[in-house]
Amino acid sequence: MSDRIPAPGPGKPSCSIAAQALCAGPQETSVFGVTGSAARPGERAHIGLKFGRILIYLEDRAALDSLTSAVEQAIGMADSVYGPVRDAFAAAEADARRRFERSGDATHLE
């Protein structure tokens, strides 16, 4: 009996593991490609994507397109979930405004 998961056939998508990970803050990332000639015996060409301690192997373009679609959807909802991105100037201005509102002293605006 083989422990190798059979390659997906037409109309048979496959994902050999299901996992959940909670990620916060900046993550180390890297991407690498393994062509057919460099793949180990019995393995397929793939793109490896490392995000923090998570490693994903994408064995065909359909898997890459699915992942890209999911990330694009997440980007689309980011402002509604996390709030808008604040640049450094906007954050400093808001901090100065709060200091002024607490103290009433314009010298605290700097």
* Helix, strand and coil percent figures for the chain, each rounded to 5: 40, 15, 45
Domain-embedded: residue 5: no
The pLDDT, as a whole number, for residue 7 is 59
Domain-embedded: residue 22: no
Alpha helices (H) along the chain: 61-82, 88-103
| Residue whose pair of structure tokens reads 């998961």 in the numeric block | 5
Residue 96, domain extent: 29-104
Q: Are 48 and 32 in contact (CB under 8 A)?
A: yes
The Cα 61–Cα 100 span in angstroms is 55
Domain-embedded: residue 76: yes
Domain-embedded: residue 66: yes
- Per-residue confidence in pLDDT tens, the chain, 110 aa: 444 555 556 666 777 788 889 999 999 999 999 987 877 777 789 999 999 999 999 999 999 999 999 999 999 999 999 988 878 888 788 888 888 888 876 665 55
Domain-embedded: residue 10: no
Domain count, the chain: 1
Domain-embedded: residue 15: no
Distances (CA, A) of 69 to 76, 91, 95, 99: 11, 31, 37, 43
The Cα 15–Cα 8 span in angstroms is 9
Domain-embedded: residue 43: yes
The pLDDT, as a whole number, for residue 101 is 82
Domain-embedded: residue 38: yes
Strands of the sheet with 29-34, listed across from one edge: 29-34, 46-51, 54-58
